[in-house]
Amino acid sequence: MNLYLIYYLAISFNFQVYIIYFYFCSVITTLRSAFCVAKYLGV
């Protein structure tokens, strides 16, 4: 394996982790805001 391939795999892996992390954070934020709205409305 040459260095470029290892570098490319590392970049793509980090990018996948970043996408998963961003998706997880957006889901958490959506759930938290929905919970706050429900608590505010007294549901």
**Tally of domains within the chain:** 1
- Read off the pLDDT of residues 1-43 as tens digits, 9 standing for 90 and up: 688 998 898 888 888 988 999 999 999 999 999 999 999 888 7
Mapped onto helix, strand or coil, the DSSP state of residue 2 is coil
Indicate the helix (H) or strand (E) that contains 13. helix 3-41
Instruction: For residue 35, give the DSSP letter.
Output: H
Give the residue numbers spanning the domain of 28. Answer: 1-43
- What's the pLDDT score for residue 9? 87
- What's the pLDDT score for residue 1? 62
Q: What is the pTM of this model?
A: 0.54
Q: How far apart are CA 33 and CA 41, in angstroms?
A: 12
- What's the pLDDT score for residue 6? 87
